[in-house]
């Protein structure tokens, strides 16, 4: 299918009837309330997409599969970069602080996690101790030195900032790529594996 949803996209249209028979009550209530689901990295049968259902509590996360034909609306993380929120929380202060730098970095970026969920849906997900989760679309290599400079900027924010680099082969954590390990964890729909270069995963570290 053309333009299939990507990891971290938010989708509306899934109903409680699409949940597994043993789904917890909180998941049924979340979908019944009209909450979106978030696309996750996992293989799915043709005509379905792997998603996660969010509950009110952090531990309330349910892996499920949504019928592609049920998708009524899709919002990507990059569509949320300039969405404002009246709630004066550290995560929103950090987003406002970092926005100019991210806009000027030359890469497409987006907001995911609890912040993205609330900005897109209006359902309360952020709190005073929330992290700011970001993604960066990086079709070409970001050097480890560039990654370290980004981390240094993020470390001056008023809350913890985590970023995933979205390479053509999967996602890698910015902080891990900025670190000193010879190999880093690359996650995609098929697997999570240690690679020397997330943009050229066939080249394994010795």
**Span 37-66, pLDDT tens digits:** 999 999 999 999 999 999 988 899 999 999
Q: Any catalytic annotation for residue 131?
A: yes
Rama region for 122: left / alpha / beta (φ>0; ψ in -120 to 50; rest): left
**Higher-scoring residue by pLDDT: 119, 206:** 119
In a domain, residue 5? The reply is no
The pLDDT assigned to 164 comes to: 98
Q: Any catalytic annotation for residue 22?
A: no
Helices 90-103 + 144-154 axis angle, to 10 = 140
Residue 152 shares a structural domain with residue 92: yes
The pLDDT assigned to 1 comes to: 41
Residue 95 shares a structural domain with residue 173: yes
Return the C-alpha torsion angle 129, 133, 195, 197, nearest 10.
-130
Of 131, 155, 162, 197, which residue is the catalytic one?
Answer: 131
Write out the residue range of the structural domain in which residue 95 sits. 77-195
DSSP 121: H
* Domains: count for the chain: 2
The pLDDT assigned to 56 comes to: 87
What is the C-alpha separation between 205 and 145, in angstroms, rounded?
18
Q: Residue 149's pLDDT band (boundaries 50, 70, 90)?
A: very high
Q: Residue 204's pLDDT band (boundaries 50, 70, 90)?
A: low
Residue at a domain's end among 23, 54, 75: 75
The pLDDT assigned to 205 comes to: 44
| pLDDT (mean) for 134-151 | 97
Three-state secondary-structure class, residue 117: helix
Of 103, 133, 162, 197, which residue is the catalytic one?
Answer: 133
DSSP 57: S
HSE of 204 in the Cβ direction (CA atoms, 13 Å)?
A: 3
Residue 112 shares a structural domain with residue 179: yes
The pLDDT assigned to 88 comes to: 93
What is the C-alpha separation between 172 and 166, in angstroms, rounded?
7
Q: pTM score, two decimals?
A: 0.93
Q: What percent of the chain has pLDDT over 90?
A: 91
């Amino acid at each position: 299918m053309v333009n299939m949803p990507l990891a971290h996209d938010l989708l509306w249209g899934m109903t409680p009837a699409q949940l597994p028979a043993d789904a917890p009550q909180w998941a049924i209530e979340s979908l019944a309330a009209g909450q979106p689901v978030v696309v996750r990295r996992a293989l799915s049968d043709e005509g379905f997409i792997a998603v996660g259902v969010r509950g009110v509590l952090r531990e309330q996360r349910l892996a499920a599969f949504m019928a592609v034909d049920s998708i009524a609306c899709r919002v990507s993380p990059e569509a949320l970069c300039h969405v404002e929120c009246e709630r004066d929380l550290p995560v929103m202060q950090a987003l406002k602080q970092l926005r100019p730098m991210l806009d000027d970095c030359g890469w497409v970026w987006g907001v995911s996690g609890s912040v993205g969920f609330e900005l897109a849906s209006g359902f309360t997900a952020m709190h005073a101790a929330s992290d700011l989760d970001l993604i960066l679309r990086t079709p070409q290599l970001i050097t480890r030195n560039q990654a370290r400079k980004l981390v240094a900027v993020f470390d001056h924010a008023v809350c913890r900032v985590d970023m995933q680099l979205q390479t053509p082969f999967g996602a890698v954590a910015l902080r891990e790529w900025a670190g000193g390990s010879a190999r880093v964890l690359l996650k995609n729909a098929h697997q999570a594996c240690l690679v020397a270069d997330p943009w050229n995963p066939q080249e394994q570290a010795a």
